[in-house]
Amino acid sequence: MNSKELIRSKSLKFTPAREALLEIFQKSAKPISYEDIKDKISMDKATFYRNVNAFENIGLLQSFESNDKKRYYEFRGHLHGHLICTKCNSIECLHDIPQELLNDSDIEGITIHSKCKKCKKEK
């Protein structure tokens, strides 16, 4: 389903700006913040947050706050965790979550705060 159909299927008013924003999230391989995409869209900060909030409320996006106090968003696909580096604040998606953790549970997110592989090597 393309972005336009997806927005309409959730009974949200379709706008070209919402379509462009949702497409950015759908194509991103990692969680992104406003600062990561502000140069890619012609949308002010208030409009960005109003739209991502609407997308989150209807279940298209999920979000979390990182160590750097920024809110990161990603398209809600399959459940996976995130490792947030306590040294460099990088975010890594963790796709290999043991299935027994996911069975019969209402887990909405898994976040691990630790040093990333790169920072562990730098000691």
pLDDT in tens, the chain (123 residues): 888 898 999 999 999 999 999 999 999 988 999 999 999 888 999 999 999 999 999 989 999 888 888 999 999 876 778 899 999 999 998 877 776 666 666 777 788 899 999 999 986
Q: How far apart are the first and last CA of the chain?
A: 46
Integer Cα distance of 99 and 44 in angstroms: 40
CA 30 to chain centre: 7
pLDDT of residue 111: 87
pLDDT of residue 102: 64
Provide the residue count of the chain: 123
Strands 71-75, 61-65: pairing is: antiparallel
Angle between the N-to-C axes of helices 16-27 and 45-57, in degrees from 0 to 180, rounded to the nearest 10? 70
Topology (CATH) of 3-75: Arc Repressor Mutant, subunit A (1.10.10)
Handedness of CA 52, 56, 58, 60 (dihedral sign): positive
Tell me the domain boundaries of the chain: 3-75, 81-122
